[in-house]
Every structure is written in C-alpha cells, then in structure tokens.
Structure 1
Amino acid sequence: MLARLAVALGLLLAAGAAQAQDAATLKSSMIGQWELSTTERSKTCVVTLKADAAQAPQGMKLELEPGCATALPFTKDIAAWTVKGLDIVRLETSAGDAVIDFTEVESGIFEGLRANEGVYILQNLAAARSLAKSMDQMIGDWSMVRGSGRVVCGLTLTNNEAPTPDNYEVYLKPRCDSQVASFAPKMWRLERGALLLIAPSGETWRFEADDNAQWRKSPDSADPLIMLRQ
C-alpha cells in the first residue's frame, strides 16, 4: 500500500514539474518584441516583453511603443505581463487584473478576445513585418484562370480600407464569367497565409498559395480556379 502511494505521489510530483517546466518554457520564449494588432493589422502596437519583475503581482515588465494607446485604446491599462496556467499569456493591469489573455493558435501566433471588441493577435514582430511585406506584394492586378489556362476574370487588389474593418477593397474588371460576376467580391484580406475574397453577402472564397507561386481556390477541384499575378 505504501509503495502504491509512493508511486502515485511520484507521478503527481512529476506531472507538476512538467507543467511548471512548460509554463517556464513559454515564459522564456515570450521575451522580446511582439506586435499586438487587430486581426488583419489595420491597427498595430509594438510590445516589448521583459524578464524583469514588475510592480504588478507576479507580473513582469513590458514596454509599449508611443502611440499604442491611440491605435488600441485598451493598451493604456496594460502595466505588466505574465503566464497563467500552462499556456495563457496575460497582459495585465498594475493590480494584476487581466486586460487580455492570449493562447497560441499557431507557432508564434497568439489570439486573444476582448468582449464587445473582437479578436486581437499577438505575434513575433519580425514575422508580423514579414506579413506586412507580403500584403504589400499582393496589391495590384491579378487574373483568375481555370486549370486549363482559360482566363475567367481580371481583378485589382487595392490597399484602400473597406467599410468593414481589417479588409481592403477589390475591383473586378469587365467581362468576368458568370460564376465570378455573380460572386462579385468587394473586399480582400490575408488571413493566416490565405487570401480571402469577400462578397457583400458575406460569402468568402479562400485561396492558398501553392509551390508555383500562384493561389488556388480551396478546397481544390478537378477544374481549379487559380489567381495569377498579371
């Protein structure tokens, strides 16, 4: 009986140590510069997470770049950061209250939700700036073609902000085929590596980059729809 209790206690201690190690690993990996933004980066703020203890209970120091409170007003309440549980990165007030909690959804990309505001993204600053460069490279004229090479539509992706936040305007050129013309997208954005075209109805076409530097409509089909740079 005592042997069984000893084994059970050992397992509990080992699990606790593993959890502590996971939290410590996450905390260590967060040290550095991050971009806090709306989902499609129309509003951004650079946050530097530090390893030094802050005045907030159990929190650590951080720095917000000038202009953060203007771009993202809720950031004016942020005084420190910490890791809660195994996988929650918390930006908190000086009293230790949560301003926003983030969880990792992809490697190096964290999502947090604020009630009545929406989702915010926290990601490595270098990766975020690489994404910004990618968005700039998308602006311009494109052709939609079928797998056979037949051109079915031309369109222009712009950097003009659309009425819906975090989206940009797209314009179809004349003489698109009926499928594309009836879809009639008015907005576009990049989302987690995919290109989204969005109609006023909310219908969305998703295109993913392939190995040939072109974008294929997903899910794929026997007669794929492909976007090519003109």
Structure 2
Amino acid sequence: MSLRRLLPVLGLAASAAMGVGGAAAQESGPPRETGAAGPWELALDGSFRRCGLMLAAEAGPVGQALRFPAGCRRALPVVNGLGGWRQEGDLIQLLDREGQPLLAFAAPEGEGARSAESPSGERYSLAQAGARPSAPEAPLITPAALSTLPTAREASRDGLAVAPATAAAVTGLYTLDRFVEKDVCRVALKADGAQVQEGCRDPGLALFDPTAWHYEAGRLVLVARRGHSVELIPVGEGRWRRDPEIGTTFVLRRVEP
C-alpha cells in the first residue's frame, strides 16, 4: 500500500483511539480521594459518647461506603442520618442519605482531632482509630472526685471509690458475666493489647473481638479489631460494667488465671 493510501487509514485509527480514550475519561470522571479510608472514631464533644466508623474505599449509596456497629445508633443518634462519606482535599465529609454534607471535618491546625458542628448545633470530633480526641470538657471522674471519699450509695452507682489510679492496675484476666449466665467468655488485658481466650461462649464479645484497650478518666475502653470501641465504668473491685445508656449491660470481672 502506498504512503498516500496509508495516511487516511492511520488518521481514522488515531481518531478512533482518541474517541475511546475521551469517552473513558468522561465516564471515569475525576478520581475519588481515598486517603482517609480506614477506621475512625466519632465522638460527641463534652461527653463520653463515641462510636467507631469505618470509612471504606469502595463506592456506597452516596459517596463512599460508611460502616459502623449497630450500637452507634443509640450512642450517637446522628449516625442514623448518615449514608456515606467523601473526601475533598483535606476535608472529610459525612454525608446524609441525599448525599449532602451532614458533618464536615477540616484538618486540624495542629495535633488533635478534627472538629465539626451539626445542623442542630452539637459539636463532634473525628479522630483516626488509636489517636484519642481531646479529653471531654466535663469528665465523669475528676481529680477532685478521686480524692474525696464518696458515700456507699455513690460508690455503688458510679464506682468512684474503685477507679484504678493507673492503667497498669487494670491489666489482668477478666471474665464476662451476662444477666443470668456467668463466666461465658474470658478476655486478657495485657500491656500490649487485649485478647479473647479460647472457649468463648459469648457470640457478642467474640464478634466484637477486642484487640486493644486503654484506660482514661476512670473508664476502661475496649477497642475492636475493626476499630470501634466500647466503654465500661468501674462498679466494684475488679469489676467493670458497660454504660447502660449505650447498649446491653454486661460486666467484666477480674479472675485468677
């Protein structure tokens, strides 16, 4: 084939290639930012209410998929209106079911959690799992409370007299007691993490699968493998009870190995 006849063929091939590439670019659109994907913790400022969120990289009903445990619906009712999330630059937006930003968290100027205000005026903090947000404005147990002996009734209700002074005093082997059943599952709290022991007969704790823990302001926080957490308050020597306002009550009781 002569060069004169070959040029039109090459021109058509090039045009077709450009057309396919252009269509692909239009369909794909700008790439989604997924740098924030992973486990995060959402907290209501001035309280101990918090919830583990999983910001997934895959697409969801609106924006990108957002996951959280069922207990979050009671702990932080704001999550009931969430349908997904997206990232725009340094801004992380939690979207409502229509795809509109319900909470928009800008990157903090220094170290610490991101902050956002809801349409109802409540302020929330968002921190990566493992990076704790700043202490609540009104902690449940203050230094003054720890230095003042409470009444027997107050100690039974709030556990102030039995709050350990240090995290090291919390380490040990614990068993989970339910309302009727006792010793249904055991979990070891060690300096380097938490571990459910073999033979666990409680599906809830086995599914939660705590792998880390920390002690703060008189509260024991268990952190699940997927990043969400549950808080417990002291109710006696070596005994911890989940806050009844944010889920089914259960008690961790220290036992001998």
Same fold (TM over 0.5): no
Using structure 2 for the length normalisation, give the TM-score. Answer: 0.39
Which of the pair is proportionally richer in strand? Answer: 1
User: Which gives a bigger RCO, structure 1 or 2 (Cα 8 Å, sep 6+)?
Assistant: 2
For the pair shown, which has the larger CA radius of gyration, 1 or 2? Answer: 2
Using structure 1 for the length normalisation, give the TM-score. Answer: 0.43
